[in-house]
Amino acid sequence: MTAQLIDGNALSKQLRTEVAQRAAALRTRGITPGLAVVLVGENPASQVYVRNKVKACEDGGLYSVLEKHPADLSEAALLARVEALNNDPAIHGILVQLPLPAHIDAQKVIEAIAPAKDVDGFHVASAGALMTGSSGFWPCTPYGCMKMLESIGYDLRGKHAVVIGRSNIVGKPMALMLLQKNATVTICHSATPDLKAMTLQADVIVAAVGKRNVLTADMVKPGAVVIDVGMNRNDEGKLCGDVDFAGVKEVAGYITPVPGGVGPMTITMLLVNTLEAAERG
Ligand code: GUN
């Protein structure tokens, strides 16, 4: 069997068209959804990410400001900037790009963001809201994965979902979102003794480790849905995920490619969250 692709670019395009329409509707009420992106230092990958986020805002009719600060910005100065953005009525979403320089306590900065503007969904209040099923912002990457499952009409009720990885940004929130849709969820990680025994039972596998070939064809039940969150480089320097795509696509029912899968969905869900923040007022 050859798996069907879940095309993150195509789905993003569709969702971004909806975002642009909703942003236009808000503008007629005198509200332009606004995102502030804060970058500290010169991490090259972060520079690319923030540029893409700002560009996506412009394309979607959202207002965005990119604040670039030198690497030696003090923690107190960054906290003061966050506070100013919390109080800025033109800004509905605040994103502080991670990683931050070592002298800044990233969690402290995240907790300083007003939960109503936490469009990254990293604040403990957002995490708590997801855990308890109350209203808050969902982290963009797992939220994008859920949209991908929704796009194929996949009903998670009673299905076994295996999440590989337990980060606060992807693995843990992913597991909670799958649980909220009534899947039976297993979280696997570096101390899981027999990963293959777990993944072979899975109807849905989400690989979010950050290591190539974590999931190979022999570990996948025929017809399973495979979502690849990984962003790695192979020996030729080409972008690849955590999944051995060439092998697994012969076994899985659905699979997300890298690039063109989860990656574009992350930025799309950031736009969705920012729009939602503006709509909530
Ligand atoms: N660094 C890498 N990915 C992300 C993200 O989604 N949000 C933030 N704030 N920083 C990141």
The pLDDT tens digits of the residues spanning 36-45 come to: 999 999 999 9
The verdict on the CB of residue 118 being under 6 Å from ligand 1 is no
Q: Which domains does the chain carry?
A: 30-114 (3.40.50.10860), 139-263 (3.40.50.720)
Is residue 93 within 8 A of residue 63, CB to CB? The reply is: no
Among 120, 174, 274, residue to substitute to test ligand 1 (most atoms within 8 Å of Cβ): 120
Q: What angle do CA 110, 140, 58 make, to 5 degrees?
A: 95
The verdict on the CB of residue 255 being under 6 Å from ligand 1 is no
The verdict on the CB of residue 127 being under 6 Å from ligand 1 is no
CA–CA gap between residue 70 and residue 250 (Å, rounded)? 48
Considering the chain, what percentage of its residues have pLDDT values greater than 90? 99
CA–CA gap between residue 271 and residue 19 (Å, rounded)? 7
Q: Please tell me the predicted confidence (pLDDT) of residue 1.
A: 63
Annotation marks residue 181 as catalytic: no
Interval 261-266 mean pLDDT = 97
The verdict on the CB of residue 50 being under 6 Å from ligand 1 is no
180 pLDDT higher than 90: yes
Query: Given its phi and psi angles, is residue 10 left (phi above 0), alpha (psi -120 to 50 degrees) or beta?
Result: alpha
Q: The whole model's pTM is what?
A: 0.97
Q: Please tell me the predicted confidence (pLDDT) of residue 13.
A: 97
Q: Please tell me the predicted confidence (pLDDT) of residue 58.
A: 94
Q: Please tell me the predicted confidence (pLDDT) of residue 87.
A: 98
The verdict on the CB of residue 98 being under 6 Å from ligand 1 is yes
pLDDT (tens digit per residue) in 127-160: 999 999 999 999 999 999 999 999 999 999 999 9
Interval 241-260 mean pLDDT = 98
Nearest CA to ligand 1 atom 9: 97
Q: Please tell me the predicted confidence (pLDDT) of residue 261.
A: 98
Annotation marks residue 97 as catalytic: yes
Q: Please tell me the predicted confidence (pLDDT) of residue 243.
A: 98
Q: Please tell me the predicted confidence (pLDDT) of residue 281.
A: 81
CA–CA gap between residue 231 and residue 209 (Å, rounded)? 9
Interval 115-133 mean pLDDT = 98
Annotation marks residue 72 as catalytic: no
Out of 4, 7, 14, 53, pick the active-site residue. 53
The average confidence (pLDDT) of the chain is 97
Out of 117, 118, 120, 244, pick the active-site residue. 120
CA–CA gap between residue 38 and residue 36 (Å, rounded)? 6
Q: Please tell me the predicted confidence (pLDDT) of residue 30.
A: 96
The verdict on the CB of residue 120 being under 6 Å from ligand 1 is yes
CA–CA gap between residue 148 and residue 1 (Å, rounded)? 21
Among 35, 38, 50, 97, residue to substitute to test ligand 1 (most atoms within 8 Å of Cβ): 97
Considering the chain, what percentage of its residues have pLDDT values greater than 70? 100
Dihedral sign, CA of 117, 82, 132, 227? Answer: positive
Nearest CA to ligand 1 atom 8: 97
Is residue 244 within 8 A of residue 213, CB to CB? The reply is: yes
pLDDT (tens digit per residue) in 54-86: 999 999 999 999 999 999 999 999 999 999 999
Is 42 exposed, middle or buried, given 0-12, 13-18 or 19+ CB atoms closer than 10 A?
exposed
